[in-house]
Amino acid sequence: MLSTVAKLVKQLGPTFKDITKLVNHIGGEIYKSGPDIGKGLLNLSPEKLEEIQMMAKIAWSYQEKNTNSFSLDESIKWFKANMPKGIKAGCILLNSKTPVFELHLCFMDGNEPLLDGSYPHLVVKTIDIDSDLQERFSRTDMIIIN
């Protein structure tokens, strides 16, 4: 399970950056186009419109936090504040340790991470993690939160 989640998050990492760039680009184009935006959208293929819709959906639920330190307690508070109805678990995935810690907090459906944009997903980039997270990550790259 860990390897599947880790592979998925590593594959999606660049995608999230691309999505953010795309959303910023689209926002800029909408601003420049003003009332003519509808004309530009009419010229896009249905596949491209669907791709933009999916990327916007993922970007809407994606958050990134840059901080000097992050704790297990902060993680639990985020999960409690963002827990969707019907979801019973989440995970904290340690994606990298250098030069900063990159933690992905997402919800799970069984063994599957919910990263399709339907559920909140937080990426934390931090210089330091608390002793609770350090201790748990000394044994694994993923912590399940129930």
> What pLDDT shows up at residue 54?
67
> What pLDDT shows up at residue 79?
95
Distance between CA atoms of residues 109 and 111, nearest Å? 6
Distance between CA atoms of residues 95 and 93, nearest Å? 6
> What pLDDT shows up at residue 2?
47
> What pLDDT shows up at residue 1?
46
User: pTM of this prediction?
Assistant: 0.67
Distance between CA atoms of residues 36 and 61, nearest Å? 28
Dihedral of alpha carbons 89, 18, 4, 142, sign: negative
State the residue range of the domain holding 95: 2-145
How many domains does the chain divide into? 1
Residues in the chain with pLDDT < 70? 1-44, 53-54, 57-60
> What pLDDT shows up at residue 43?
67
